[in-house]
Chains A and B, each alone.
Chain A
Amino acid sequence: QVQLQESGPGLVKSSQTLSLTCTVSGGSISSDGYYWSWIRQHPGKGLEWIGNIYYSGSTYYNPSLKSRVTISVDTSNKQFSLKLSSVTAADTAVYYCARKRREFHYFDSWGQGTLVTVSS
């Protein structure tokens, strides 16, 4: 049973870069057939897909965030990471990492989520 765990600062200053890491355990991050994803949820709001990465490094981003997002993968440490630049209060959210089936487009495993607050 694969498990995912987010880590990173819970507080980021406005205009700086938000950085989070997701550690995968109980399974291989290099498995064929899976993308590794970031999803966020603004307080009291719905889910927003941020982007995906394949273990080879191929990435796909939400067009609305693409100019500020970078997702990378470190297969040796079984981790993938999110960087979101030029953050504002609108980026305050719970950030989830998740595993997505590559060809069937659903998220079958999720991390517990981590709240990131952007302060001025």
Chain B
Amino acid sequence: QSALTQPPSASGSPGQSVTISCTGTSSDVGTYNYVSWYQQHPGKAPKLMIYEVNKRPSGVPDRFSGSKSGNTASLTVSGLQAEDEADYYCSSYAGSNILVFGGGTKLTVL
């Protein structure tokens, strides 16, 4: 099981929208609707932002949304705010009780 592929960096100005991609294979992202996204600020533990492709946990702003097409999942952050600057990781179920993460994307708010 290989890591999911994410762009190393993304950026946007306050108020803009940014989309981060997460590309897997037909063995993980393409087959299962169990893609989740995590936000990690420096020195902190990851925080769940999206689960099951497009569901938001209680307390996560609706500015965060998720989607999937084929083997690629995406996280969109709308109305960018300074506090959204962080690292973002995707994860997917890969069958047989195996989980795989992406390499992470550093989001910069310009």
State the A residues within 8 Å of B (CB).
39, 45-49, 52, 60, 62-64, 96, 100-101, 104-108, 110-113
- Knowing A110-B45, A110-B46 are in contact, say whether A48-B36 is a contact too (CB < 8 A): no
Tell whether, in the assembled complex, residue B52 and residue A46 are in contact, meaning their CB atoms are under 8 Å apart: no
Q: How far is the CB of B75 from chain A (nearest CB, A)?
A: 14
Q: A46-B103, A47-B101, A100-B99 are in contact. List 15 more A-B contacts (CB 8 A).
A: A39-B101, A47-B89, A47-B91, A49-B99, A49-B100, A49-B101, A52-B97, A63-B1, A64-B1, A105-B32, A105-B91, A106-B36, A106-B91, A108-B48, A112-B44
Which residue in B38, B48, B52, B98 is a CB contact (below 8 Å) of A60? B98
Q: Which of B44, B52, B102, B104 contacts A106 (CB 8 A)?
A: B52
Contact with A along B15-32 (1 / 0, CB 8 A): 000000000000000001
Q: Do B3 and A46 touch across chains, with their CB atoms under 8 A apart?
A: yes
Which B residues between 34 and 62 are near A, CB-CB below 8 angstroms?
Answer: 34, 36, 38, 44-48, 51-52, 57
A108, B100: Cα distance in complex, Å: 16
Q: Which residues of B73-108 are within 8 A (CB) of A?
A: 89, 91, 93, 96-104
Given the complex of chains A and B, what is the CA–CA distance between A48 and B101 in angstroms? 6
Q: How far is the CB of A53 from chain B (nearest CB, A)?
A: 11
- A107 proximity list for chain B (CB < 8 A): 36, 38, 46, 48, 91
Query: Chain A residue with minimal CB distance to B34?
Result: A105
B99: which A residues are within 8 A, CB to CB? 49, 52, 100, 105
Q: Given the complex of chains A and B, what is the CA–CA distance between A60 and B38 in angstroms? A: 22
- State the CA gap A63–B96 with chains docked (Å): 11
Nearest-CB residue, chain A, relative to B96: A60
CB distance from A1 to the nearest CB of B (A): 11
Q: Using Cβ atoms and an 8 Å threshold, which residues of chain B touch A39? A: 101
Q: How far apart sit A113 and B91, CA to CA, in the bound complex (Å)? A: 18
**How far, in Å, is B97 (CB) from chain A's closest CB?**
4
How far in angstroms is the closest Cβ of chain B from A26? 16
B-chain residues with CB within 8 Å of residue A52 when the two chains form the complex: 97, 99
Q: Is the CB of A62 within 8 A of B98?
A: yes
